[in-house]
Structure formats: C-alpha cells, structure tokens
Amino acid sequence: MNTEEIKITAEPQMDPNTCRFIVDRRLYDGLYSCRSKEMAQGSPLLEALFAVPGVSEVLVSGNVLTVAKTGPDDWAAMGKNVGGAIRQAIQAGGQLVAPDPAKKLPPLPGLREKIQKVFDEEINPGIGAHGGSVEIVDIQGTAVFVTMTGGCQGCASASFTLRYGVEQLIRDRVPEVTEIVDVTNHEAGENPYF
C-alpha cells in the first residue's frame, strides 16, 4: 500500500459539468476516454471514479483526469469524492488503467484522412482568420480527440466554436464520427482572439 501524500488539484472548466484533476504523479501513459462503467472494467482507477455518483465520463492523459458529471451536485462537494476515489486507487497500488482499457477498435479505414480533409479545407481556413487552428491528436474507434492551438487556445469562445462549428461540420461531412473530444489545455493559451 502506498502511504505517501498524494497531491491533487481540481480545476473546474468553462463547462460547469466538467472539472480537471491534476495529480502529482503519472496515472496512464497515453490518452483514454472512458464513457461508461463497462468501459472502465479492469481499470481500478476508472472503476473507482465511475463508482462516484454522477460521474458520466473520464478522460485520462498522463497525470490529468478530466471528469464530466451529470446531476445537480457542484464540484465543491463532488470534487472531494472524486479526489478520494483517485487517492484510494493509487494507495491500493498496482496498475491504475489497463494497458488496452476498452480493447478499443482501430479507427475505421480512411477516417483520419476524411477528417483531416475537412480540417484542411473548411475548418482551419475559417478559424485561421482568428489566428487559431484545430488538429487531430488521436482517433479511438469513431471518437476523435482534437487540440485547439493559437488564438483558439484559451479563447472564451473555444467551447462554442468546437461544439457548434467544428463538431457540427465534422458530423455533417463524416457521419461515422460519434464523438469529438477537446483535449486542449486552455489555461495555457497566451494569445486568444477574444
């Protein structure tokens, strides 16, 4: 059992249903979006988080967990339960996230190329006028992970641009995409347009 102090910093996001938890140690090598209790099976950290009432999704990347919630509880109350679940999983020892947590399917053939074409020809020229761009980070099955850079990183309108611009255009042009996940660290943006 690991008894050393575990430091966790909670950072509520612009979306009131999302909070980022930064832990003082690496949790997982890679990037994984867990969207259900079933997908969490076999990963002690994810199982512990989905046992917290209201947790609906967890994105784990390195030492950062981005947790989405449903329900009325605010992060001040819910964050303590999430932090407790993280500490308990770490203190138990062993691997926190299974090596292939969802036994994920490879991306559909040609999916990356189709999405990249929409970024190159339609999305990035438009947001480039504001000094920003959107890039593909990873594709897991039919979920696309993106990062927003330049003027989009840290912009107050980034969430709106992603949901009502980028996401709608991608779903319209490439209907096989089921999810678009923003993994941008918006706190690090230095030159947002707005």
On whether both 115 and 87 belong to a single domain, the answer is no
Q: Do the domain assignments include residue 97?
A: no
Q: Do the domain assignments include residue 52?
A: yes
Q: What is the mean pLDDT of residues 36-44?
A: 85
Residue 71 or 66, more confident: 66
Point out the domain boundary residue: 40, 57, 92. 92
Q: What strands lie across the sheet with 28-34, from one edge to the other?
A: 8-12, 18-23, 64-69, 55-62, 28-34
- Give bridge partners of residue 62 from the DSSP assignment: 28
In the numeric block, which tokens belong to residue 62? 């390195």
Q: Do the domain assignments include residue 98?
A: no
Q: pLDDT digit string (tens) for 166-179?
A: 888 888 898 878 77
On whether both 79 and 140 belong to a single domain, the answer is no
On whether both 30 and 80 belong to a single domain, the answer is yes
On whether both 173 and 118 belong to a single domain, the answer is yes
Give the CATH number, domain containing residue 127: 3.30.300.130
Q: Domain span at residue 129? A: 111-188
On whether both 122 and 173 belong to a single domain, the answer is yes
Return the pLDDT at 194: 46
Q: Do the domain assignments include residue 154?
A: yes
Do the bridges between strand 18-23 and strand 64-69 make them parallel or antiparallel, or are there none, so unpaired?
antiparallel
What total of structural domains would you count in the chain? 2
The rounded distance, in Å, linking the Cα atoms of 101 and 74 is 28
Averaged pLDDT of the chain: 83
Q: What is the mean pLDDT of residues 102-116?
A: 72
Do the bridges between strand 179-182 and strand 143-150 make them parallel or antiparallel, or are there none, so unpaired?
parallel
**What's this model's pTM, rounded to 2 decimal places?**
0.57
In the numeric block, which tokens belong to residue 58? 């967890």
Residues 46, 26, 149, 140, Cα dihedral to 10°: -40
The rounded distance, in Å, linking the Cα atoms of 50 and 97 is 13
Residue 188 or 29, more confident: 29
Residues in contact with 13: Cβ distance below 8 Å, sequence separation at least 6, in sequence order: 19, 20, 66, 186
Give the CATH number, domain containing residue 29: 3.30.1370.70
pLDDT for residue 23 is more than 70: yes
